[in-house]
A = this chain, B = another copy of it.
């Protein structure tokens, strides 16, 4: 049987490994997962309560208008319900963007290393991919490459801050950049980790309302998977002009988010204490990773996220990841991104101390 020829080129996404499976495989009592940038403080109590309270309604299809969560997001961001689409993770909004704008005659643009899903979805439709030589976002390079191929490039992805590298552009530079882009090119601002960046430095804050008031050709992406501690529930959102949202809606399957996910996200949005604790602890623990790196002569990029990426010179990231895994510490090896580096999610104080301990032990042998 023949299939869509573009599918041949696709490698499937390599996701973080499951704790239970690792524990079984290596016969470990404790497994610490610092691989998927989940919230180390668990599920917000309010979200957990919402799930438990609604568990008996699992047989009913979700409210497909998603009005409750939409209104809460509209209020938070001071936009209209009609400016919002909710997806199974913000990944799904990336999918809508790609399927709405790209095909095998078109291309998208990103920095040298960014979130893997941009590329995976683009390959599904056979689109061409332009990446800057610079691994991190370099607006000059992005602008040059765009100008050179502007007839082809119909999406630009800006990941602010950037997963898996951690750096973040300033808002004012981003706005200036978007101003130079043709109105028919969609600029996707992936803000999956933007709350972390904004907390550390106000200059990184992208206000979705301000963004869409200024530009008709942008979509802002947010997620409940990171700061809001709901990675397992798959809820993200896109904020854009009504025209863009209406088009994305044509690609959205009904009931794309579970009813318990909608309830959990609505409750999590209200748990300000949990959010505050997560942000504060994240950056105080991040300092320990920076100190550790300096002490042990590991290069890193200053991170505006809930993870930090260590780059190696002589050490081998694959070898290191495997050795850590056997000790029950899961980190993300970035070899699949072509980097000799590991991405470590900032965990709890205990989890981080365990990482430092095992890391040192591996290299003292």
Do residues B20 and A59 form an inter-chain contact, with CB atoms below 8 A? no
Contact, CB under 8 Å: A250 / B10 = yes
Q: A63-B18, A88-B88, A100-B7 are in contact. Are A217 and B51 (CB under 8 A)?
A: no
Q: Does A13 have its Cβ within 8 Å of any Cβ on chain B?
A: yes
A216 touches B1 (CB 8 A): yes
Whether A16 contacts B251 in the complex (CB less than 8 A), given A101-B3, A260-B51, comes out as no
Q: Which residues of B contact A36 (CB under 8 A)?
A: 60-61
- Closest chain-B Cβ to A31's Cβ sits at a distance in Å of 11
Chain A 27-56: CB-based contact to B (< 8 A → 1; otherwise 0): 000000100101101110001100110011
**B interface footprint on A239-275 (CB within 8 Å = 1, 0 otherwise):** 0000110010111111111111100100000000000
Bound state CA distance, A176 and B361, in angstroms? 65
Kindly state whether residue A15 has any CB partner on chain B within 8 Å.
yes
Contact B233 A64 (CB under 8 A): no
Evaluate contact between A55 and B43: CB separation under 8 angstroms. Answer: yes
Interface-side segment among A188-196, A197-205, A224-232, A282-290: A224-232
Chain A interface size range: 35 or more
**Most-contacted residue by chain B among A48, A99, A225, A258 (CB, 10 A):** A258
A96 to chain B, nearest CB (A): 10
8 Å CB contact of A3 from B13, B20, B100: B100
Q: Please name all residues of chain B whose beta carbon is closer than 8 Å to the beta carbon of A39 when the two chains form the complex.
A: 59
Q: Which residues on the B side are within 8 Å of A64 (C-beta)? A: 15, 18
Taking a contact as CB atoms under 8 Å apart, the answer to whether B247 and A259 are in contact is no
**Inside 8 A of A251's CB, which chain B residues have their CB?**
7, 124
Which B residues are in CB contact (< 8 Å) with A260? Answer: 51, 232-233, 258, 260
B1 x A124 contact (CB < 8 A): no
17 contacts between A and B (CB under 8 A): A1-B243, A1-B244, A4-B101, A13-B254, A33-B60, A38-B59, A43-B56, A43-B59, A51-B51, A51-B58, A57-B232, A58-B230, A60-B231, A89-B255, A92-B253, A117-B253, A121-B253
Footprint of B on A, CB under 8 Å?
1-4, 7, 10, 12-13, 15-16, 18-21, 33, 36, 38-39, 41-43, 47-48, 51-52, 55-65, 67, 88-89, 91-92, 95, 99-101, 103, 117, 120-121, 124, 183-184, 186, 216-217, 225, 229-234, 243-244, 247, 249-261, 264
Q: For the complex of A and B, list the 4 residue pairs with the smallest distance between their C-beta atoms, beginning with the closest.
A: A232-B259, A18-B63, A59-B229, A15-B64
